[in-house]
Amino acid sequence: MGFTEELLDWSHEKRCQEAVKGLNQNRFTAVFCENREAAIDYIIKEAGEASSIGFGGSRTVVDLDIQGRLADMGKELLDHNKPGLAPEERLAVMRRQLTSDLFLASANAVTINGKVISIDGNGNRVASMIFGPKKVILVVGRNKLVGSVEEGIKRIKAFAAPLAAKRLNIDTPCAKTGFCIDCNSPGRVCTITVVLDRKPRLSDVRVLVVNEEMGL
């Protein structure tokens, strides 16, 4: 490893640790994970007592590739993106996620001082993040750490939202051009903006800050 890479690794780790500090000060349960394997180990352990596990549709969680392991543990997996579901079945799964024992998702951005920022199209993901599931675990890669709420929202709309629309094959202007124009499209993926300044009072929200690039 060259000196530049060492400096970058040092900087990334410091930013992750500072975000963990800020999140804990804001009453979240925040954990620094050196890599995605550490995040997987944490989730598997926390899933031990859960009967039902909801998935918020996060690319970050999908990339962890843990659904098979959780299924082998006998868990009921509530995944509205499961192939073959009819629209009414997808909606039913989304509603059941609201009362799951464990809900797994990611946030779109986290500030260094510990605020959690998410933008949704339907609101099912952010609803389950705020209230309902017995436990929520958000997996956040170091690439999602930002300096302020304003910076986070700008990052999401300029970068993450167009890529999400493209990935999901949604008919929006940004999925075609790669740029947000603050559209009024029926398929718009950024209709709801939620900022968690502190942990919701009645919810158990864990945030795993992973020292790797993960998700969009």
Give per-residue pLDDT as tens, 12-23: 999 999 999 999
Judged against a pLDDT cut of 80, whether residue 133 lies above it is answered with yes
Span 106-128, average pLDDT: 97
The helix (H) or strand (E) run that includes residue 185 is none
Residues 194/198/202/204 CA torsion (nearest 10 deg)? 90
pLDDT digit string, tens, across residues 93-112: 999 999 999 999 999 999 99
Q: Which of 19, 82, 74, 61 is nearest to 215 (CA)?
A: 61
pLDDT number for residue 1: 67
CATH number of 3-210: 3.40.50.10420
Contact 138, 208 (CB under 8 A): yes
Burial of 172: CB neighbours in 10 Å, binned 0-12, 13-18, 19+: buried
- What residues does each domain of the chain span? 3-210
Beta strands per DSSP E along 69-123: 76-79, 102-105, 109-111, 116-120
pLDDT digit string, tens, across residues 23-40: 999 999 999 999 999 999
Cβ neighbors of 87 (< 8 A, separation 6 or more) are none
pLDDT number for residue 3: 74
**Which residue type occupies 174?**
C
pLDDT digit string, tens, across residues 158-186: 999 999 999 989 999 999 999 999 999 99
pLDDT digit string, tens, across residues 38-97: 999 999 999 999 999 999 999 999 999 999 999 999 999 999 999 999 999 999 999 999
Looking at the DSSP assignment, which residues form a beta bridge with residue 104?
55, 137
pLDDT number for residue 2: 79
